[in-house]
Amino acid sequence: MTDSISARLRQAIAHHAQARRMAFSGPEPVTYAEFGRLIDGYAAGICDWGVARGAKVGIIAPKTVTAIAAYFGAMQAGACTCFIEPGLAPEIVAEQADTVEMLHLVVDESLIDRFEGRSLRGLTLRGLGTLNSGGASSDDGLDSNDAAMLLFTSGSTGRPKGVLLRHGSLICNAEGVLRHTGTSPQDKLLHVMPLYHTNGVNNQLIVPFLAGASVILHDRFRPEAAIEALRRDAPTYMTGVPTIYARMLPHLTHGERFPDLRFLRCGSAPITPTLHQQIEEAFGVPLIVSYGLSEATCTSTMNPPDRRKIGTIGTVLSGQQVRLFKPDRNAEAPEGSEGEIRISGPALMAGYLGSTEQPIVDGWLRTGDLGRFDEDGFLSITGRIKDVIIRGGENISPALIERHLVTHPSVRDCCVVGAPDADLGEVPVAFVVLKEGEKFDEPALKAFVKGSLARIYVPAEIRNIDVLPMNGVGKTDRKALRRVWATSLLAQV
């Protein structure tokens, strides 16, 4: 028996259409019946275009119902689909496409002028508005092993890498998230994250569509607009990164509550317990922290909405295995001890495209993250292997220093990186963002660290910075901070 995420979506959408449910709500509502017809029309258009089964199709468009229908239509027609960041220059798009042997590019008419007449290295180009044939084309026997989705890793240097995901990978992720969250037709999701990020599609489109929930689309995140949507459109949950919620806090009315809101979800970047508590107090609902990698589709652990534990990334989703290994060898770490987080199961990618690097060893994805399970099966991240600072032969976890520094009354956020040292090899350096109205006092902050942690954890230098640099998915850009540090040293020479 064949099985694919496209077949499951088609069946679910038909069921929800019969129940007269809304696929999209908010200012421009769209029923499941209308959405299903759009997907079928784009699937037929992809077939008419002559796109071969398994061929990679890139889509560049604003976050609209039309773009989403084209995405799932292409997947339903047997293509391997990929949302590409709309702001990328044509030459970067061409480089990415060349890396993964992508031959077809669909571009929204509002953006197509940037690409017409440019050298696209053999890419065939179509306007989004011309692709829907108005016909119908069903999933033609796609299997769980067929290629379904392509994602690009968010590395800031070097050639881009494509993450290839199968239909079975998307099914595994969706089933696990559905069981963990209990998403239902009564739910409404406020969608503020980009579509070219794995969470933006897997957890914020596929999951609600399977469940019959409704999606409220915001083309991009704006704090004031998101809060107004919480008031006006009555979403039951929202997904974001820590930065998103931190930027919403100053715009909230003190004591305001949103009666329909069940919980907030948070992932993609670490969050401090202090910020976690601030968010829960401000919104009046639980903040559900999760963890995952594009290389394992999207989410591998998540806090259950009814029993979340602050400071953890939750319990393992059904259908996946998460274990801890000794970082320097292929052996499991002793129970209760720290180890490298590794993931196994159907959610794993088929592999990288455009790179000889393959982080899956003996069926286990090496994440590079260090973690520890508690007695209840909740996992906590304790650090990152490549971020570990080796000071005079002693390993220092930046996360430990960061967790302590953000408890200081004057500090709102911080990041610790390793800096070269002629004597010790490497020493910790901290960048702190102060709360409004606070004065920077480096000796006092160093004394604060020394008061609770061992001497080796005291940063060699602490610098005040207005805002921590972020990459495209909201993670603190440690490489950028290391460059800031190196540049300042060169300026002193």
Query: Cβ neighbours of residue 1 under 8 Å, at least 6 residues apart?
Result: none
In whole angstroms, what is the distance from residue 164 CA to residue 168 CA?
Answer: 12
Question: According to the model, what pLDDT value does residue 139 have?
Answer: 67
199-228 pLDDT tens trace? 999 999 999 999 999 999 999 899 999 999
Question: According to the model, what pLDDT value does residue 211 have?
Answer: 98
pTM exceeding 0.75: yes
Fold of the domain spanning 388-492: GMP Synthetase; Chain A, domain 3 (3.30.300)
**Which pair of tokens denotes residue 308?**
């979340």
Question: According to the model, what pLDDT value does residue 201 have?
Answer: 98
Where does the pLDDT of residue 473 fall: very low under 50, low under 70, confident under 90, or very high at 90 and above? low
385-412 pLDDT tens trace? 877 787 876 668 788 899 889 999 999 9
Task: Assess whether pLDDT exceeds 50 at residue 92.
Answer: yes
Neighbours of 372 (CB within 10 A): 17
Residue at token pair 């591998």: 300
Task: Assess whether pLDDT exceeds 90 at residue 81.
Answer: yes
Sequence ranges of the domains in the chain: 1-385, 388-492
Task: Assess whether pLDDT exceeds 70 at residue 166.
Answer: yes
Task: Assess whether pLDDT exceeds 60 at residue 431.
Answer: yes
* Segments in 233-367 forming alpha helices (H): 242-248, 273-283
Question: According to the model, what pLDDT value does residue 454 have?
Answer: 77
Q: Which CATH architecture best describes the domain 1-385?
A: 3-Layer(aba) Sandwich (3.40)
248-290 pLDDT tens trace? 999 999 889 999 999 999 987 778 888 899 999 999 999 999 9
The single-letter DSSP state of residue 470 is: B
Domains 1-385 and 388-492 share a fold: no
Give the CA count within 13 Å in the CB-facing half-sphere of 102.
Answer: 33
* Average pLDDT over the chain, rounded to an integer: 91
- Taking the CA atoms of 245, 250, 255 and 256 in sequence, report the sign of the dihedral they define: negative
Question: According to the model, what pLDDT value does residue 158 have?
Answer: 46
Angle between helical axes of 32-49 and 5-18 (0-180°, round to 10)? 140
